[in-house]
Structure 1
Amino acid sequence: MFPYERIIIIEKESKIPIYRQIAIAIINAIRNGTLKAGVHLPSSRELAKTLGVHRKTVIAGYEELNAQDWIIIIPRKHVSVSEHIPLLKPQKWNTSTNTLSFENSFNLPFKTIDKYPEKSNNVTVCEAIVDDGHPDVRLSPIDELLKTYRAYTSRNHTIKDAHLGTEQGTVKLRDELTKYLSETRGLHISSENILITHGAQMSIYLSSRLLLNVDSNIIVGKPNYPLANTTFEETGASLIEVNVDEYGIDTAAIEKICKKKKITAVYVIPHHHYPTTVTLSVERRMKLLELSHQYSFAIIEDDYDYDYHYTSSPYLPLASAGHSGNVIYIGSFSKILDPSLRIGFMIAPKNFIEQCTAYRKIVDVGGDGYMQNALSFLIKEGELKRHLKKAKKIYHQRRDFLDTLLQDKLSKYISYTVPTGGMAIWIKIRPDLSIIKLSSNTKLKIIRIEEVQNAFRFGFASMNEKELDQTVDLLKTELQKLENKI
């Protein structure tokens, strides 16, 4: 029997609930090979006694692990580590690899300052817009944010703070993010590992310009986030598409490619893939990290909507696992507060962040220091966590309400799988009906369609129940018109 009291260290003063501390400790033990696939874990009663906690706390931790497919629970028999976890080499119990990951230097080749491309957006105004997964600004704590912003513009010391260090991001925001990301995502970093950007897209652009060139190969999912693909292609790199199924990007296919050619990076959206919304399975997460180490490629992890997961707590990012410093983690507050509020962040080793900061200064000398410091205040005071708790509950209800509407009104025209999180549902239209014709309707603007799969993203988070009902009715009317023309 493993000495679980050495594997699971309970920190009662931590803001992380004890059941999640237990779950995270067991995940880390599986990741580093201490707990092998198929190994039986102690009963909830035995583990509770060993750790000195209530049995219900252990049960909650086990249920969390089971929901994320790390363990298998067979009632009244046993609890065991999933058989699908790859075999890994054990490490010493007192070695906390995840706390050291970002202390490593980024040891893969990357270039410094280079050119930058321009992009444009076309906006269409019409009767109804189906976005691709935006937050509801009406729920956002924008008023509190702006109130703090205004206050900071009228005080001498806050005016001075707002003009310091904006190239990398204000010290206040980076310090608060260091604590916030440790508590919520298990990222053990310092403020030097953080670059504040104008949203996730800027982070994708900066990392691609430093990593990629005409001799590079980058693997992406198929289908994938179009702007990311465009950004990678404009570096001159070769884009290699790998299919995404119900378990996420196909890591077996990635391994086959790695055996044939040198891969510089893999771009992945593990939590809720864009556009199909699927979550990367635990087995494939482990395999991707293993392949990154084996074949020395970078992982660009885009975690743009981490906070919205409904069936369990959010999966821990790939970046929170033990790695050799070759994971670049990207996040955004635009999906929490407002799409027009362009504040994102990149997490990477210090030497990579330094070069990204230098490159970014050519494009943009810095962000809005007042807004960054106002956001840091919301994080520090717990306002952001309170908002996320409320928004997550409402978005969950809206997802389920839309599911009911789609089944009742559109089931003869469409097929879909209800996502475990995120802010959109990936909907496939019947093969004899054209998504191109549906999206060209002047009454209805669909932001994200996929012609090959005859599908589109239905963003539900930004609409209340009345708006969802009206939009589904409009979709039904337009689909009926297409059907009648066949």
Structure 2
Amino acid sequence: MSSPVLDLLSNLVLIDRSSVQPIYLQVCQQIINAVQRGYLLVGTKLPGTRALSEVLHVHRKTVIAVYDELEAQGWVEVRPNKGTFVINQSHQIKIDKPYEKLVSLAKYPVRTGFTFRQSTILDNPFEFSNSHLFFNDGQPDIRLTQMQNLSRWYSASMKRKYNLKRLTGYNLEGSEYFREQLSNYLNFSRGLHISKKNLLITRSVEMSLYVISQILLSKGDQVLVGDLSMFSANMVFQKMGARVRTMPVDESGIDVDYIRTHFNPGEVRMVYVSPQHHYPTTVTLSAQKRIALLELAREYGFVIVEDDYDYDFQYEQMAVMPLASGDINGMVVYIGAFGKSLAPAFRRGFVVAPDNLIMEMRKYLGIIDRQGDVIMEQALGEMIEEGEIHRHLKKSLKIYRERRDLFCEILETRFKEVVEFQKPSGGLALWTTWDRRLSLFQLANSCQKEDLFIPKNLLFQNNVLSAMRLGFGHLNESEMDKSLEILHKGIIKMG
């Protein structure tokens, strides 16, 4: 005799056997949808696996996999000898804190009893403040991230039995599934032609640069960067003992001809470039310069390290493909961060390079990050395969484009006498040049008194330049208006 719940599920669950999506995930997602829409209430007992398998015309093991997935994602609870029940998503578990009242009986030493080398190169350049409003160098707004969905993906991945087995062993290559999904994603979105063998997964772009530098740089090697460039990359190169030299940057990117006129073949070991949106000026490297740089790398024998900084945040319909997509001589090492539109904990660095270099880099990664984060990588891989990343990025890009346009509109209206800028085709920050009679550092100090923090790493002022890199992505409309109002008042006070 069928139950009301069984009859309901037989009408709600429709299986597409021609779909590439596994049947158990199709059924799982439709049951979740039934809970969200109120067809299945909290406390509802779901049918037994045998009964549901007969109604849906699937194998009983498929229904078992469905219930396991629902339990992993936190939608149901399996009660021994009673059945499977829909549970409240907001259910909180009280956790005892046995060490909460622990009192230290001794002081830990403030200084070591031995000497060690100290680095000034690696001093933290970032500042922090308790101000409610602030500018940054172009970070996304994590409030746009659906944290509940992200945590559910991760939680479900962590509870799957086949993933738990992977945690007991070591795999220097990380999640094979994630590398396969990420290679597909990069091929589709960036015009690459790679397989999972060409990918190294790291914790961050900085870790990627560190591993690359360990293999490719020796003391005294010359590394060329833009006249204004990513300071974290420069820190890594200098720590390896490389000589960091700068080359001019104009409205079409780095001056490639500068390399030919100032260096001979073999004198340059590496060129670091962010051609999509150069940091900090946001300019895009022109097509002519891209071709010239690839040809020069082949002729001079230097490595191009291409950072795809802000590649995901492009507002024009026709995106410029990375240098790596046109590299046929194996001269480009392509690095980036996957999931930059997500919360920081969900991001992963990656390196794309020919097979032989990736194999060598895995040896070094095995020393500093042997295990990696297989569970997180599995969850991210599923988000790629299920299209979750694409949907999130598409939705957030629309918001960021609107914020860019509003930010530019306010600057043009209130600041046209003292600031110049070009609306960027992508990214989450503007490069603004200011009236040189203004002291940007004094302006930042004045704004901080009004609860607006402008860190010094955003200020570029010397005898020939007066500029600020102003991030807009993290500000909603009211925050943006208030921040720029404070900035405008600070300028008026300075006369």
Aligned-pair RMSD on alpha carbons?
Answer: 1.9
Letter of the structure 2 residue corresponding to residue 219 of structure 1: L
Q: Deviations over 1:82-102 (max 9, x none)?
A: xxxxxxxxxxxxxxxxxxxxx
Choose from 286, 290, 293 the match for 1:288: 293
Deviation at 1:331, TM superposition (A): 1.2
Q: Which runs of 4+ in 1 moved over 6 A?
A: none
Deviation at 1:480, TM superposition (A): 1.5
Equivalent position of 1:471 in the other structure: 483
Equivalent position of 1:135 in the other structure: 140
Q: Percent identity?
A: 38
CA distance in 1, matches of 2:160, 2:282: 44
The normalised TM-score by structure 1 is: 0.72
Where in structure 2 are there 5+ consecutive unaligned residues?
Answer: 1-118
SS of residue paired to 2:433: strand
Letter of the structure 1 residue corresponding to residue 321 of structure 2: L
Choose from 296, 300, 323 the match for 1:318: 323
Q: 1:301 to 1:119 in 2, by over 3 A?
A: same
Alignment of 1:226-265 (within 5 A): 226-259=231-264, 262-265=267-270
The normalised TM-score by structure 2 is: 0.71
Equivalent position of 1:169 in the other structure: 174
Equivalent position of 1:459 in the other structure: 471
Q: Deviations over 1:53-88 (max 9, x none)?
A: xxxxxxxxxxxxxxxxxxxxxxxxxxxxxxxxxxxx
CA contact (8 A) 1:165 1:171 kept: no
Deviation at 1:313, TM superposition (A): 2.7
Residue 444 (str. 1) matches residue 456 (str. 2):
no
Equivalent position of 1:54 in the other structure: none
CA distance in 1, matches of 2:235, 2:171: 28
The 10-residue stretch of structure 1 (314-323 or 333-342) with the greater mean CA deviation from structure 2: 333-342
CA contact (8 A) 2:266 2:302 kept: no
CA distance in 2, matches of 1:118, 1:414: 33
CA distance in 2, matches of 1:341, 1:455: 32
CA distance in 1, matches of 2:469, 2:342: 20
Deviation at 1:395, TM superposition (A): 0.9
Equivalent position of 2:424 in the other structure: 419
CA distance in 2, matches of 1:316, 1:405: 31
The 10-residue stretch of structure 1 (132-141 or 243-252) with the greater mean CA deviation from structure 2: 132-141
Q: Which has the higher contact order (CA 8 A, sep 6+)?
A: 1
Choose from 337, 340, 359 the match for 1:354: 359
CA distance in 2, matches of 1:409, 1:467: 16
Letter of the structure 2 residue corresponding to residue 292 of structure 1: A
CA distance in 1, matches of 2:379, 2:286: 36
Q: 1:179 to 1:288 in 2, by over 3 A?
A: same
Where in structure 1 are there 5+ consecutive unaligned residues?
Answer: 1-115
The 10-residue stretch of structure 1 (227-236 or 437-446) with the greater mean CA deviation from structure 2: 437-446
CA distance in 2, matches of 1:292, 1:141: 42
CA distance in 2, matches of 1:139, 1:409: 28
Choose from 366, 369, 374 the match for 1:364: 369
CA contact (8 A) 1:214 1:236 kept: yes
CA distance in 2, matches of 1:165, 1:417: 49
Length, aligned pairs only: 368
User: Which of structures 1 and 2 has the bigger CA Rg?
Assistant: 2
CA contact (8 A) 2:170 2:370 kept: no
Q: 1:163 to 1:449 in 2, by over 3 A?
A: farther
Equivalent position of 1:195 in the other structure: 200
Deviation at 1:161, TM superposition (A): 3.6
CA distance in 2, matches of 1:157, 1:169: 15
CA distance in 2, matches of 1:186, 1:129: 36
Alignment of 1:58-77 (within 5 A): none
Letter of the structure 2 residue corresponding to residue 445 of structure 1: F
Deviation at 1:119, TM superposition (A): 5.7
Q: Deviations over 1:183-240 (max 9, x none)?
A: 1111111111111111212112221221112231111001001111111111111111
CA contact (8 A) 2:346 2:376 kept: no
